[in-house]
Every structure is written in C-alpha cells, then in structure tokens.
Amino acid sequence: MRVLPPEVAHRIAAGEVIERPASAVKELVENALDAGATRVGVDIEDGGVSLIRVRDDGHGMPPEDAERAVAEHATSKIRTSDDLARVESLGFRGEALHAIGSVSHLTLTTNALGAEGPGFRVRVLAGETLEAGPASHPPGTTVEARDLFLNLPVRRGFLGTVRAEANAVATVVQSLALGRPDVGFFLRSDGRGVLALPAAADLRERVSQVHGLSLARGLVALEDPVVWGLVSPLEVSFPTRRHLHVAVNGRVVDADSFAPAVARAYADLLPKGRHPAAFLRLDLGPGEVDVNVHPAKSAVRLRGGRSAYPLVVGTIRAALSPDRGPGAGVPAGEAGTELIPIGQFPGRLSATVRKRLAEVVHLLQCYLRAGELGMRAAE
Ligand SMILES: Nc1ncnc2c1ncn2[C@@H]1O[C@H](COP(=O)(O)OP(=O)(O)O)[C@@H](O)[C@H]1O
Ligand SMILES: [Mg+2]
C-alpha cells in the first residue's frame, strides 16, 4: 500500500465521498469485496449515525498497511495514472477510509490472511490517530465508525430520519448484493436482522432472495457475451423503475443512465406507465470502461464515445422475441398475431371497465407474441 503521488491523486475525480451513512456503508462493503470476502456482515445503529460496523473474511491487512490505510490517498489498488485506465477493483482512490476517519470515531481491526501475529488495531478520532497496536482478530477486517459527522453538526442536520437513513443503507447493501450473488450479505439494524442473503448460486437465486421467488422464476435470461442478465417477461411489469439494476464489469452503477435503453426495448410492449424489471450485467474489457467519472464511482463511460444503448436494446429485444418463447419455431404469421374484432360495445364504458379491458387486451397481445395463444386462450 502506498500514498498516491499528487499527480495521480489530482487526476482522480475527487469529491465528498461520505454524504450519509449509506455512502460510508457502500465504501466499506466495496473494500470488503475488493479484499475477496465471501461473507460481509453490516451492523448499524440509529440509521448508521451512532454506529456502522462492517466485518469481512477477506485477505485483511498487515499492520503497516492498516496504519497507512487511514491516511489520505493511500491505496493498494493503483500506483500510476496508467493503472487508472484499467481499474478492476471497486476502489481506487484511497480516499474512503481517510474520509470516514476524519468525520467519525473509526476503529479498524484486521489480520492478514496467513499472518503469524494476532492482528492489529488502529483507532482514529476525527482525523487524529488515537491508538495503533496489536489486537486479536481472525483473518479479515472489521471497520467500525461511531458517531458519524461528530465534528460536522451541520452535515448531521441534513440527514434524514433514522428510518430513512436505515432504509438507504439497506438499499445500498441490497444493490451491492445483487452485484455479487456469490458473496453472503447480512445486515442488522439496531440489533434486528434486516437482510440475510447467504451466498447464492447465480443471479436468479440472488434476485429471488432479494425480490422473491415469484419475480425471479419468471425472468427471461439475456444471451449475449457482453450484455447478460435477467429481464421480466411481458406479462410482468411495475408502476416504478425500482426493479432496474445494472452492473458494469462487476461494479454496480447508477441504473438511471440505462433506463432509456431498457424503456426503448419494451417501448410498445408494456402498457403506458408500466416498467419492466431488468438486472443487467455488462462485461467489457477493463480498458474499455472509464470508471473515474463520478465521485461516488456510480457512473461509468465507455471509452471512445461508444454507447451501450443499441447493444442493450438489441439484446433485450432478442430475448423477448416470440421465437425464444415457449412457442418457439412457430412463424409469427401462423401464430395469428392480429386481433380480429368479435363485436362492438354500444354504451359508454366506465374507467374501471376500460382499464380492465386494456389489461385483457395487453395480456392477449403478450400471449400472441409469446406464441402461446392456442394454449392460453382456452383457459
Ligand atoms: N476490508 C478491507 N480488507 C483489506 N484491505 C482493506 C480493507 N479496507 C481497506 N483496505 C485497504 O486500505 C486501502 C484504502 O482503502 P480506501 O480508503 O477505501 O481506498 P481504496 O479502496 O480506494 O483503495 C485499500 O486500498 C486496501 O488496501
Ligand atoms: Mg475503498
């Protein structure tokens, strides 16, 4: 681990990384994942303001590194500006531990995998090192931040209610967990279990743990070497975009920038105001993505001005196309993709009836597209 030279540090999209407990949790959990953890345990009290504790079974740190880790721009993940162009770890700025240590009472206890000694502890209060010395810890790391923003009363005043902050933490953990189905995630808030997500076999199982089996079971798999993942079939939709989750090269990113492509793929297929579920994974070479765009590392840009838009739209479209469905092989014409009027309703329809009819028509269209009409129409 080293302190980045100023010319590298200055090229990093710097910014306030810690805005609220959830942003500290995100950084600490990302560190755990970068350390190769198979299990990450998060405990919070009072929405994370009184306590955030993240415990992992990753490779830990030797004592020298533990001390240096809380210094500004100390990172083991990049060395030069060139490395910045092919970051494969979630962290790379060497900023988070220092930032959290300067606004809280931080205790980092760690033991390097395969080390002889008992372990090591560093304690920092509002940026001042209070203590550094041996302490016992199994292989892995525990970082505890107490009294977040103890020296920034104004920032603390801007926080939401305990409940809002606790919810934001849960959302962050859920989101990171969707990005790494192979890792176990556990969240407790004020001693109460909030999330228990043991290591899952694949993305579908993780989606099932987070959103329930009934959603997970029906999801359609995307088949493209670059864009893969799971999307909802046409008969499943939601009133909000809450079920959109995107990871690029293993990094969970802000899904909003992918929303237009997903919306386009489903444009004429879902009723107005309804949104699909999409769990998208983009695997590009590390040199093809610029992750150093946003302070929270939540945005990425494809190099060379390339856009992922057509690829995302095309891959989802292909997965939703009828020849992939249960009626595979039936040519569109033969499956009868036209609706034939069977009568007319003379009177005015109430809004409720119109809505129900629209749903029925929509479902029929879905079945037609899926080439299932013969089977489902009879039901
Ligand atoms: N949970 C952890 N396990 C092992 N090493 C860690 C852990 N957290 C932090 N580190 C070490 O401390 C360094 C600084 O962490 P951080 O401030 O988050 O910066 P970054 O993740 O950008 O390198 C990391 O580069 C890593 O070497
Ligand atoms: Mg980090």
187, 216: one domain: no
Q: Can you read off the two tokens belonging to residue 179?
A: 């990005």
Q: What is the pLDDT of residue 92?
A: 72
115, 258: one domain: no
Residue pair 335/371 in contact by the 8 Å Cβ criterion: yes
Q: Residue 281 forms beta bridges with which residues?
A: 228, 247
**What are the pLDDT digits (tens) for 98-108?**
999 999 999 99
14, 133: one domain: yes
Listed in sequence order, the residues at least 6 apart from 291 whose beta carbon sits closer than 8 Å to its beta carbon are 87, 92, 249, 251, 297, 300
In the predicted structure, residue 216 carries a pLDDT above the cut 70: yes
66, 190: one domain: yes
Distance CA 340, CA 359 (A): 17
SS3 (DSSP) at 338:
coil
Q: Output phi, psi for 117, to 5 deg.
A: -70, 175
172, 222: one domain: no
User: What is the residue whose two structure tokens read 């969707």?
Assistant: 178
Distance CA 90, CA 5 (A): 20
Q: Residue 189 forms beta bridges with which residues?
A: 44, 192
pTM of the model: 0.80
Q: Residue 231 forms beta bridges with which residues?
A: 220, 278
Distance CA 215, CA 177 (A): 17
145, 220: one domain: no
Distance CA 48, CA 51 (A): 5
Residue 69 CA to ligand 1 centre (angstroms): 6
CB of 279 sitting under 6 A from ligand 1: no
203 found inside a domain: no
Distance CA 43, CA 196 (A): 12
241 found inside a domain: yes
Give the number of the atom of ligand 1 that is nearest the alpha carbon of residue 97. Answer: 17
Comparing 193 with 307, the larger pLDDT belongs to: 193
Give the number of the atom of ligand 1 that is nearest the alpha carbon of residue 56. Answer: 1
Q: What is the pLDDT of residue 379?
A: 34
Distance CA 153, CA 351 (A): 52
Distance CA 42, CA 27 (A): 12
How large is the average pLDDT for residues 172-185? 97
Find, among 173, 167, 175, 170, the residue nearest to 280 by Cα.
175
CB of 91 sitting under 6 A from ligand 1: yes
Comparing 373 with 37, the larger pLDDT belongs to: 37
Distance CA 78, CA 361 (A): 56
CB of 74 sitting under 6 A from ligand 1: yes
User: What is the residue whose two structure tokens read 């909003």?
Assistant: 256
User: What is the residue whose two structure tokens read 């995998």?
Assistant: 113
326 found inside a domain: no
Q: Return the minimum-mean-pLDDT range out of 105-109, 197-201, 283-287, 291-295.
A: 291-295
6, 145: one domain: yes
Distance CA 299, CA 294 (A): 6
Find, among 132, 71, 76, 63, the residue nearest to 99 by Cα.
71
- The range of the structural domain enclosing residue 84 comes to 2-197
327 found inside a domain: no
**What are the pLDDT digits (tens) for 113-162?**
998 889 999 999 999 999 999 999 999 999 999 999 999 998 899 999 99
**N- to C-terminal Cα separation, the chain:** 65
Q: What is the pLDDT of residue 84?
A: 67
300 found inside a domain: yes
Residue 78 neighbours by CB distance under 10 Å: 23
* pLDDT interval class at 193 (50, 70, 90): very high
**What are the pLDDT digits (tens) for 20-78?**
999 999 999 999 999 999 999 999 999 999 999 999 999 999 999 999 998 767 787 77
350, 240: one domain: no
Q: Into how many domains does the chain fold?
A: 3
Residue 325 neighbours by CB distance under 10 Å: 20
SS3 (DSSP) at 318:
helix
User: What is the residue whose two structure tokens read 């798999």?
Assistant: 221
Query: What dihedral angle (degrees, nearest 10) is formed by the CA atoms of 247, 252, 255, 257?
Result: -80
- To test the pocket of ligand 1, the residue of 75, 90, 113 to mutate (highest count of ligand atoms within 8 Å of its CB) is 75
Atom 4 (ligand 1) nearest CA = 60
How large is the average pLDDT for residues 370-376? 42
CB of 101 sitting under 6 A from ligand 1: no
SS3 (DSSP) at 344:
coil
Q: What is the pLDDT of residue 11?
A: 54
97 found inside a domain: yes
Q: Residue 123 forms beta bridges with which residues?
A: 107, 131
Q: What is the pLDDT of residue 213?
A: 96
In the predicted structure, residue 15 carries a pLDDT above the cut 50: no
Atom 11 (ligand 1) nearest CA = 69
The domain that contains 280 carries what CATH number? Answer: 3.30.230.10
186, 259: one domain: no
The domain that contains 159 carries what CATH number? Answer: 3.30.565.10
